[in-house]
């Protein structure tokens, strides 16, 4: 069996692990030639081939938590919480009992716009100190502070984007 180590903390990890269960760091994915092709997601099945011809955004949302970075590529969503059956990054929050098992969902659309939605968590989700109402998506910007419950805070790091020409006026 191949042994691997985490690039951040050097703990031993298994080849199929997505994150380091010691420090919460996202692990690089390795692919093998004999691996079967990935099954299409529900969203990919719903989209017609015409919809998929545009360029893929290189944007990645990064939430810098003290326990490690959580990265969300464009066009994806990630559930944040302590339940390893639901959240790919559950190990990063296992020591925080006040973070709910299904706490919040972070989404990064194909255009590079990020949102966070509280999933009816017990102790709340906050953006820059303001509580996010359960079920309501709140837009995230570069430099925002996201807090889960009382003591788990992350800085939002987003790539800088060009302004939308539709929002520009001659006065600005």
pLDDT in tens, 59-68: 788 888 888 8
Per-residue pLDDT at 48 exceeds 60: no
Q: Could you read off the pLDDT of 147-162 as tens digits, one per residue? A: 999 889 999 988 765 6
> How many whole angstroms separate alpha carbon 141 and alpha carbon 9?
29
Query: What pLDDT is stored for residue 60 in this prediction?
Result: 84
pTM, 2 dp: 0.60
Does 40 fall in a domain? Answer: no
In a domain, 94, yes or no: yes
Same domain, 7 and 75: no
Same domain as 128, residue 63: yes
For residue 171, is it within any domain? no
Q: Are residues 86 and 126 in the same domain?
A: yes
Q: What is the pLDDT of residues 88-142, one digit of tens each?
A: 888 888 888 899 999 999 999 888 889 999 999 999 999 999 999 999 999 999 9
CA–CA gap between residue 29 and residue 26 (Å, rounded)? 9
Residues 73 and 135 in one domain: yes
- What's the angle, vertex CA 88, arms to CA 132 and CA 99, rounded to 5? 40
Count the helix, strand and coil residues of the chain and give each as a percent rounded to the nearest 5. Answer: 10, 30, 60
Domain of residue 7: give its range: 1-30
Q: What is the pLDDT of residue 40?
A: 53
Number of domains in the chain: 2
Query: Are 65 and 145 found together in one domain?
Result: yes
- Does some domain include residue 107? yes
User: Does the pLDDT of residue 36 top 60, yes or no?
Assistant: no
């Amino acid at each position: 069996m191949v042994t691997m180590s985490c690039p951040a903390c050097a703990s031993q990890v298994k080849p199929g692990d997505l994150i380091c269960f010691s420090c919460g760091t996202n692990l690089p994915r390795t692919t093998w030639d004999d691996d079967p092709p990935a099954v299409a997601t529900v969203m990919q099945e719903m989209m017609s081939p015409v919809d998929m011809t545009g360029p893929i955004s290189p944007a990645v949302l990064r939430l810098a938590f003290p326990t490690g970075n959580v990265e969300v590529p464009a066009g994806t969503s990630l559930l944040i919480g302590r339940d390893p059956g639901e959240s790919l990054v559950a190990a990063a929050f296992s020591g925080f009992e006040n973070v709910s098992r299904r706490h919040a969902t972070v989404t990064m659309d194909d255009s590079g716009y990020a949102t966070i939605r509280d999933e009816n968590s017990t102790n709340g989700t906050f953006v820059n100190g303001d509580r996010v109402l359960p079920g309501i998506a709140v837009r995230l910007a570069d430099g925002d502070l996201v807090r889960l419950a009382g003591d788990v805070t992350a800085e939002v790091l987003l790539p800088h984007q060009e302004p939308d020409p539709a929002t520009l006026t001659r006065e600005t």
